[in-house]
Every structure is written in structure tokens, then in C-alpha cells.
A and B are shown apart, each in its own frame.
Chain A
């Protein structure tokens, strides 16, 4: 599952992942849940790789890997995790306007980490947004995340395949930038696990 906020590339990541899985000859089902409007709302998607999945959305406790593009968002989906799940967490917070207006509160990162540790899942944290900025473009944050997912070794898709899907989608110049970001995320997750 991939969760985050509208504008973070959750849908793009899901589509790339699904296309790569099909490219590797896998059966795939997936779907996104997003509210109306272009930006700012909660977004979550499922990508279910392998022939046993029939429904497009992952049922409760059946999530193998949760890619969270925003730290507090993962708290919404703890019910989908099990003790063998892996959570890859981008620690960069996106504070919604409701917090600025004082209508809601943002939990501190420690609380989030504590709640995750209670569930017993394995967690890899990274500041994907900083890594992307340092590498040249904040907009490649989702590629760092995707790289981390592959670095975790938990997806049955070849790295060459996802990279060629990225090239196909973005064209050579942007793809180079994206590949670089992907590699940084890949290495980070690989060494963290």
C-alpha cells in the first residue's frame, strides 16, 4: 500500500509499480482512494501483485509493505498491517491548513514511531524529501520512496524493469534525474535492513 497526501505522487508510484509488475509478467490488481479536488486531501492506494488477488483494494491485515509518503498518514492505516509488514516512512511532515487554523492537531513524530513500534512491524525511516532536494529536485521525492521499496527487497519485480518503466513514462532527461533519486532511496533502504 502507498499512502500520502494529494500532490505527493502516490498515484504515480502505484502506476509505475503496477506497470513494472506487468512488464515482469505478473498479475496485478490495484486502486487508489482519493477525495475530490487536485491537492491536499488524503490518498491511499493498493498494488496487489500475484494471481491470488481478485479485489483491487488490500483487505485489513494483508498489507506486506506500506510506503508512507507522509509520517502521520500511516496512522490511518495501521489496521492493514500485520507483524510481518514493513513500513517505509518518509519523515517529512506536511502540515494541513486545519492545523494552522487551530482546528486540528498534528501528532509529534515520537508518538507516530511509538504507535508503529507497538504493532511490531519493521520500520525504515528516511527524509526522502531532503534526499530528493539534495539530489537536485524535490519533485523526485516519490522516486526516492520507490527506490527504498525496491531496496527493501520486498517486491517481486526486477529493478531493470521498474527503471525502464520510469524511462518510458518520463522521457530521457527527467528519467535520469528520477533514476538517480531511485538509486539513493534503494541504497538507503538496503543498508538500513
Chain B
């Protein structure tokens, strides 16, 4: 490691070693491939790929990176650039691919020209650490005839990213790199490769195979099927698939992606490493059929190890079936279908099919730790102290209380973002939520079936992502709902990426800032208002008016994310004045605890107190205290 010059992901120093996050390694792979246009929408576990590329962009001439408004647009922007002759990629999380599914299907039909490699990076999230589904996008890839590379290590993630561009151009086909949380959010030493420096100027030639009218897309389908056949044959010789046959081995293991890492460690731990044939799968779609057959024919029993769905397993079964091979195949009968795998889970699966006992008695460990685990307090993630969302939901709840007698009990439709945490008590700010944009979309439907007042919330980034069409739908169909945009000037949950409402691009350039209220007015929403959630009383009044309004109403609740505000204060050398509870005045009515749920407000021996080190000084609790017992330091 060179001491003189700091090594970064943009360093042109092949052979050097860096400690990289999986997502940073993927970014490095794209840099090495000489990618020219990068598009993405933030989403865990994919966001750091784009963030790393944005950071590196200044040092990499000819690389453009953007946060697109949503995944569908990201896919289209990258495809448009690829059609014009430059290497392009779109990056998104598992469920983001659902949003991009429409252009994805057509893009896969279209041929990729030389120097125009086109790659989708899909980050799946087994265990649903931060996703609404545990979906396995290898199925989406299969549906679209999209070849998939799937790394088993962080090093391979980098190498495969680069390779995906080469393969895309070699076969004239869009490719997909599938990463998972345990690759994207893993670290490893990574050996850097060479950076491709020549970046051709994009050019456009009219060619109607890049249109989607049936005449051309039928032809495209034919050529796509033909390409796929060639890729299927070539998969047998791709370095990402590796067959290690052990003479006389009874057990054969097929392991895909991260599961290969678990399988290798499990076999070693059980002392079976030298007695087992292993087929490492780096191209789950299409599988290397010849290698699969070879393994099936050389062992007495095959175990397919993969996370989530039996994608490889099913294809292995098809291959066995069509070749009339009767070797018993195990997979999801012993490998869990839900949640991430681990070395332990693979040990247990191997033990079940071989009868070899596990290296340690895992069940005994589970039993021994059950009680200590149960003693730990539950720690659901909470909205931060000083979070404007808490104030917004407080105001929404209070406004709904005021209208309850006239309009009935409220129904809240919600969305994806930090504010999803308002689902928990005491805010209880969400009753139904499905996906990005659902805060407004679902509200439209609930209002058609229920007479109760319906209020939908979503964030500022989400508003631009997919909230706008649902808002227009409410105006178009004259649906009586209250739509609240929780505008904290950031895509906070995924790490503060800019969006159309922030006035800054991914590359840090100033741009036109679009305000949700202006969009709403332009779309003729008949009731539009803006509130500051830290002005509690005013917020409640405005929200009550919006809820009582007999038509679609939109309220923008605007206040920057506290994490951004706090870092600004630190930069400016400003101190906050924390609040405290005057015990002589406090009547212990518990309103601040029961209605706000701020982590800085504690109960200490029956008394309510504020943790000064946690208090962010927002003053919302002081405003709601009915006896004015909460006061600010420095005596205001």
C-alpha cells in the first residue's frame, strides 16, 4: 500500500489492494470498465455504489452520474445513452427493479452495439433488512432473457462488474449484475485492476430496431432468443462458473453467489472439503448446463445451496430431467427459503443430507442463549430526536382528533422512508403501506370504499418518484383525500441523496429546485398549503382545514432533516439550547411521552426528564405541554 499517495477508488494503480465495501468495489469495477453514463435511484442496499461513483466522478474524466427521479427513468436514461454508443449502467435495489420493469423488458430485446455495454445492477435484500419484499430478481431476469452475473465475494463483485460490460458488448445483449445485501454491505481486501481510459464520443444513427413497434420488436425478440442461446453455451466456459470435481466424491454441492462462500466454509468446518465436488455458480441465468450435467453424473447426491428462491435448483432439476439423470437433488427441502443463509445454516443442510453431524451443536447453543437474548430490551429503530416527521405526525393526529366527531375515525396510508417508522406507537401514523408512492395511491382507493377521512403521507423524494401521478389521479377523479408531503429536503433514510426538490444534482451542480406545492398548484390541486411542523399550533389548524376540505388537498410539511440541520449547526459553530422539565410545574400528565415518543424524553423514578445530551432543541415538546413545564436552558 503506497504511503505517499492516498489510494482511492479512482486511483489508477492496478495491483494495489484496498479495503472496500462491496458497493464501493462494484463502483470500482464500473470505473475500471470505463463507464460513461451512470443512473440510479437510492435504495438500500444499492445506494453506496452510486455515491462512490459520484465521489469519484471529479477524478474520472468523461463519467456522468445522476440520481434519476425514479428507477424507470434511470433505466431509460441509461438505455438512451447506451443506444448512442457509450457504456452505461442503471443501479437500483430489488424493488426498484419493479418500477423499472417496463423499460427493462424492452431493453433486453434490443441489441447492444460495440462500445455501448449496458448493465443493470440489481441489489437484492434477502432477510428484508430494509425492503418490503424478499424478492429474488433472478426471476425478473429470466422473464426478460437477461443474463445474470452473481458474485460470491467482494473481489468478484468488482471483477464481475467490469466483465458485465465486456460480455454485454461481446454478445450484444444487456446484462444484469445481481448483488445481495451480504455482498453490497460486506467488506474485503480488493485487488485493483486497470482502468479503461478511452471514452468514445457518443453518436446517434437512426436505426428502427431501437423502436418498440411490433414489426421491429418481433424481430428483436427473435434476435434476443438467438443471443441467449449463444450465451447459454458460452456460460460453460465463463470463469465465473467453476467445477471442482473430487474423485470418488459422494456429495456434490452447487452453490450460487454469496452462498458459495457459506458452502466452502461449511464444508471445511465439517471436514468434508476434500470429499466433496463443488460447482460454483457465477451465472445463475443461464446456468452452465454442461458443468451441471458433469457434476450430476459424477456424484451420488447433489445439494443446491442458494438464498431465497430455488432458482438454480429448479434449473438443475430441469437439466437432470432432460438428460435423464437420476442423481437425487436436494435444495429447498433442507436449505431455508426465507432469510439470508449463513455458514451455520449450510452446515445444517449438509448434515441433513449426508448424516455427518454439524461441527457444533447449534440447537444447544440456541437453547443456551434463548434466555439471555430475551433479557435484552427491544430496540426498534426510532425517528431521531428533533426529527420533523415526529412533529408532523403529532400535528396530523391532533387535527384528526378535532375532526373525529364530524368525519369519523381516520385512516392513514403510508409510504417508504424514515417516516415508515411512524407506524410504531405512540405516533401510529400509518395503517396501510405497500411501496414508493403508495401513500397517495392507496389513499385514492380507500376514499372510494370508506366514508372515513383518509390521509396519505409520503416524503419529498417519494413525491417526485411516484407520488405525483397519484396526486394527479386524485384531481382527475375528484377524490376527497388529504395528501401530506413530509418535506425534509433529503432522501434521508438512504443517506441524504439530492432529488428534484433540493436544487442540487448528484454531481453537486446547482439546478432548478422544484417545490411540491408548485407542482400541486400546476396540477390544479384545489387546496394547497405549506406548514412548518415545528410551528405546532399553526400546523394543526392548517391540517384540520385540509382534512375538512371537500376535495383533494395537499399540505407540504417542510423542515430539513435534523441530521442535516445538526451538521450545519456544527459547521457554523452554533450550539443548541436543550430543553428541561421543570418538576415543580410538571403534572405528569405524560402527554409528551404518550403523544410524541421522543427518545430524549425519559422517565426517571416516576419523574419526566429530558436527556440533555440527546435533546435536539426542536421545542415541539415545550409547545405541546399543557402546563408549560418544559423550558429551554438559558431561560427563554
Chain A contact residues, CB within 8 Å of chain B: 5-6, 14-15, 18-19, 21-23, 26-42, 47, 52-57, 59-61, 72-73, 75-76, 78-79, 95-101, 103-107, 111, 115, 138, 168
Given A41-B380, A57-B182: A21 and B360 interface contact (C-beta under 8 Å) = no
Please measure, in the bound complex, the distance between the C-alpha atom of A80 and the C-alpha atom of B265, giving whole angstroms.
Answer: 16
- A105 vs B154: C-alpha distance when bound (angstroms): 39
Which residue of chain B lies nearest to A7 when distances are taken between CB atoms in the complex? Answer: B384
A-contacting residues of B (Cβ < 8 Å)? 1, 6, 17-19, 44, 129-130, 153-154, 182, 185-189, 258, 261-262, 264-265, 268-269, 342-344, 360, 362, 365-366, 368-369, 372-373, 375-384, 418, 420-421, 425-426, 492-493, 563, 593, 597, 599, 601-603, 613
Measured in the bound complex, the distance between the Cα atoms of B384 and A40 in whole Å is 8
The answer on a CB contact under 8 Å between A36 and B130 is: yes
A95 to chain B, nearest CB (A): 7
Residues of B within 8 A of A30 (CB): 186-188
Contact A61 B19, beta carbon cutoff 8 Å: no
Report if A79-B369 is in contact (Cβ < 8 Å); known contacts: A29-B188, A37-B421: yes
In contact, B188 and A59 (Cβ under 8 angstroms): no
Q: For B379, what are the chain A residues with a Cβ–Cβ distance below 8 Å? A: 5, 40-42, 96, 98
- From A5, A15, A106, give the contact of B19 (CB < 8 A): A15
Q: Contacts A72-B375, A100-B602 given; 9 further ones with Cβ under 8 A?
A: A15-B187, A22-B17, A29-B187, A39-B381, A40-B384, A53-B265, A56-B182, A59-B265, A95-B602
Q: Say whether B185 contacts A36, CB under 8 Å.
A: no
> Which residues from chain B contact A106 at a C-beta distance below 8 Å?
377
- Chain B interface mostly: mixed
With beta carbons under 8 angstroms apart, the residue of B187, B377, B601 that contacts A72 is: B377
A39 CB contacts on chain B under 8 angstroms: 381-382, 384
- The 8 Å CB contact of B381, one of A35, A76, A95, is A35
Minimum distance in angstroms from B383 CB to a CB of chain A: 8
Q: Which residue of A lies closest to B362 (CB)?
A: A60
B19 x A97 contact (CB < 8 A) = no
Bound Cα distance from A75 to B129, whole angstroms: 21
Taking a contact as CB atoms under 8 Å apart, the answer to whether B375 and A14 are in contact is: no
Residues of B close to A105: CB separation below 8 A: 375, 377
Q: How far is the CB of B388 from chain A (nearest CB, A)?
A: 14
Assess the A38–B378 pair: CB atoms within 8 A: no
In the complex the two chains form, is A79's CB within 8 Å of B368's CB? yes
A-B contact pairs, 13 of them (CB 8 A): A6-B381, A22-B17, A29-B153, A29-B187, A31-B186, A36-B421, A39-B382, A40-B382, A41-B381, A76-B373, A98-B378, A111-B375, A115-B375
Min Cβ gap A147→B in Å is 20
Q: Which residues of B contact A28 (CB under 8 A)?
A: 19, 187-189
Complex CA distance for A106 and B379, rounded to whole angstroms: 11
| A97 CA / B379 CA spacing, docked (Å) | 8
- Is A100 touching B603 in the complex (CB atoms < 8 A)? yes
Q: Which residue of A lies closest to B601 (CB)?
A: A100
Distance of A93 Cα from B329 Cα, bound (Å): 50
Cα separation A168 to B141 with both chains bound (whole Å)? 42
Q: Is the CB of B342 within 8 A of A31?
A: no
Q: Indicate if the CB atoms of A73 and B376 lie closer than 8 Å.
A: yes
Residue contact A75 to B372, C-beta cutoff 8 Å? yes
